[in-house]
């Protein structure tokens, strides 16, 4: 999936917003600023493409509220693609 981001695997991102930024804001930020490849291979509407797993501090984002999760300082957000051969 790093191919979509010019080969870069990790990014340090700072988001400032009032109220607290949510994961949906991070996804929008990524689409607008970090994505080098086709957006439809990463996002679908407000959220990531179904088939891309999201971990927040090594925990399933579905446990944390999905795109409504409120980002905290130093959070580690990991995107893993399942859309490839096995």
Please report whether residue 8 would count as binding another protein according to CB under 8 A. Answer: no
| Contact call for residues 61 and 55 (beta carbons, < 8 A) | yes
| Token pair in block for residue 50 | 């179904």
Binding of another protein at residue 70 (CB under 8 A)?
no
Other C-beta atoms lying within 10 Å of the C-beta of residue 27: 20
| In the complex, least distance from residue 3 CB atom to another protein, rounded to whole angstroms | 8
Using CB under 8 A, pick the residue from 28, 34, 55, 71 that binds another protein: 55
Q: How many CA atoms lie within 13 A of 72 on its CB side?
A: 5
How many chain residues bind another protein (CB under 8 A)? 19
Q: How far is the CB of 17 from another protein (least distance, A)?
A: 22
């Amino acid at each position: 999936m790093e191919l979509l981001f010019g080969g870069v695997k990790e990014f340090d991102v700072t988001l400032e917003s009032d109220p607290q930024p949510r994961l949906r804001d991070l996804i929008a930020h990524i689409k607008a600023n970090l994505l080098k490849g086709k957006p439809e291979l990463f996002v679908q509407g407000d959220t990531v493409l179904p088939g891309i797993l999201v971990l927040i501090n090594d925990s399933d984002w579905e446990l944390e509220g999905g795109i409504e999760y409120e980002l905290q300082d130093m959070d580690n957000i990991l995107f893993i693609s399942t859309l490839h051969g096995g």
